[in-house]
Chains A and B, each alone.
Chain A
Amino acid sequence: MKILNASGCLDALTAPAVARSLDAFVTKSVTPLPREGNAPPRIAEVEHGMLNSIGLANPGIDRFLAHTLPRLRELEVPIWVSVGGFAVAEYADLCDRLDDRPEVEAIELNVSCPNVDDVPASVGEIVAASRAATRKPLYTKLSPATADIAEVARAAQKAGTDGLSLVNTILGLALDEQTLKPRLSRGAGGLSGAALKPIALAAVYACYEATGLPIVGMGGITSGRDALELVAAGAASVALGTILFADPGAPARIRAELASEIANLGVGEIDNAIGLAHAEPAAISKTAGRSAAMSVQ
């Protein structure tokens, strides 16, 4: 059971103490070429959450490998690198470039950014090509904006993903109080925060049943209770997103709250709570989840 940050919700270099309070740091998504991101304004608070349309702003893989990764390594926190591309070959190339970097513990495939126009190829193809390019553990981050997320999860599993990151943001729109025009320059943006939690729970629940893969559950966690619910739905680990913006002390707080929730539950180890929401927590799923999770320790 790990507590991570959701990609794009923490910069370990500007907030190293926060990164060190996590079990692993997940980078903002890196793309083959540098990206400025979308025009401002690119964030807007809404009731129970926020919208963002950052647009994968990042320095590109060359600069990331040369400048960012060596500095991240100095923090001595396990590093998961999130990668994003616009074609199958781009994901494969990114994974290939990361494969021989010992400081990278795992790779997260961001196949679900809602803030870019180019729609990548099918999840199965991306995962298969990435799998062929690296021996690192691969976590595939899925969008909840799909008719049947379990189907997508099964395709990712068949193509060789080691785990799933659930969920990415889902498109939402906010209008200006006075003008009634969209508050973000791009119009819609990814909804995160407390409003996303029921959507995340549904996705984790469905994908746990469908695949038994280890799942990093995320979406609207603000408390240990929220984390526990995602674990009960099937998450083997959890990631904190929007709450890190408001409360950089959230990892330590939520870790303590979760421990007390587990103690109250009386199930012993936290791993015993994985999948509790299901009628029959599949023993085989839990075993698969644990062994794969251990492979990235």
Chain B
Amino acid sequence: MQRARARVTGAEQIGPYTLLRVARGSLEPGIPGQFFMLEAPGRPLPRPMSLCLTPPGELAFLIDPIGPGTRALCALQPGDRLAILGPLGNGYRLDVERPLLVGGGIGAAPLPYLSDALGHPPAILGFRSDWHAEAAQLVPNAEVVVEPTFVTEALSPGHDVFACGPEPMLAAVAKLEPAAQLAWEAPMACGHGACYGCAVQIDGEIKRLCVEGPVLAAEAVAA
């Protein structure tokens, strides 16, 4: 885990989201599904963000401005600097035969980098509106569904599923695909195992999503 002050190189609007690009500097991109803690300007706590893309010399994060921290991050301008810690947690296992990426809403964030790492396998992305669905342009070979259609309706069996999205979506995917790898989200203050804000109970033991996750096997999680 490394902490560096990174320079913002770009901030692009994609639907309601912002793709924030920073100079990579000494930071390693890590494995798809891992995350970074991004300093949220003016806020006491950083925000956990999975890595979305790795343009040459850069790291890019897809951010949904839903609260004071994410709004501050989306307001950053090229040239601004922010502290970044990472990569953190456990990413996806990539040694599978028939990958299928499944994303819901801002859960699409880690999938572009994952898609690059896996050679652009098929993907199913679900969004609440066409505006939100603009984020699908970041994921090659993506089939897009918009509510009231859900990603689970487009799932076909026989794949090694990688999923990221809201909890109800992950729970539904876990039921259909018990071997799926799911990336979870939880409020976290630190990202390095200290705060226990992201702790969940798995197999009778307390696990911290920032340390043992955020990617967990579907069968390991009590739905």
Contact = CB atoms under 8 A, between A and B. Distances in A.
Interface stretch (A229-237, A240-248, A261-269, A288-296): A240-248
Nearest to A53: B197
Main secondary structure of the interface of A (DSSP, over half): loop
A239 to B, nearest CB: 13
Interface stretch (A37-45, A87-95, A272-280): A37-45
Contact of A42 (B44, B45, B197): B197
Contact of A43 (B69, B188, B193): B188
Interface in A92-130: none
A243 B187 CA distance: 17
Contact of B39 (A45, A177, A246): A246
Given A36-B206, A43-B189, A14 B194 contact: yes
Contacts of A161: none
Given A40-B187, A246-B46, A54 B197 contact: yes
On chain A, which size bracket covers the interface?
A: 35 or more
Contacts of A11: 192-194
A88 B214 CA distance: 39
A45 B189 CA distance: 8
B67 interface: yes
Contacts of A69: none
A202 interface: no
Given A9-B194, A36-B206, A42-B197, A245 B186 contact: no
B3 interface: yes
B172 to A, nearest CB: 20
Contacts of A200: none
Contact of B193 (A15, A40, A54): A15
B45 to A, nearest CB: 5
B199 interface: yes
B83 A57 contact: no
A57 B206 contact: yes
A14 B44 contact: no
Instruction: State the 4 A-B residue pairs at the shortest beta-carbon distance, nearest first.
Output: A14-B193, A43-B197, A245-B190, A11-B193
